[in-house]
Amino acid sequence: MTSQKVTFYSSDGIRLIGILGIPDGKPPFSTIVICHGYGSSKDSESYTTLEKLLLPLGVATFRFDYRSHGESEGSWQNLTLGGVKSDIKAALDLLLTHYHESIDQAKLVLYGGSFSGLPVVWITAEDQRVKYLICRSGVIDPLLRYQGLYDLGKWKKQGWIKTGESNQDSRYAKLNYQLIHEIADLNIKNTLSRVQVPILIMHGTADTTVLPEQSLFLSRHVGSKDKTFQFIDGVDHWYHGKRDEMQQTIVDWIREKVIP
Say how far residue 148 (Cα) sits from the centre of its chain: 22
pLDDT digits (tens, 9 = 90+) for 193-251: 999 999 999 999 999 999 999 999 999 999 999 999 999 999 999 999 999 999 999 99
Residue 148 burial class via C-beta count within 10 angstroms: exposed 0-12, middle 13-18, buried 19 and up: exposed
pLDDT digits (tens, 9 = 90+) for 22-72: 999 999 999 999 999 998 999 999 999 999 999 999 999 999 999 999 999
Section 178-184 average pLDDT: 87
**CATH code 3.40.50.1820 for 2-142+190-257:** yes
* pLDDT score, position 203: 98
Give yes or no for a contact between 81 and 88, defined as CB atoms under 8 angstroms apart. Answer: no
* pLDDT score, position 208: 94
29: Cβ–Cβ under 8 A, 6 or more apart, which residues? 22, 23, 58, 59, 60, 102, 103, 104, 107
Percent of residues in the chain assigned helix, strand, coil, to nearest 5: 40, 25, 35
- Listing DSSP states for 197-217 in one string gives S-EEEEEETT-SSS-THHHHH
- Please tell me the pTM assigned to this model: 0.94
Do you know the residue count of the chain? 260
* pLDDT score, position 171: 67
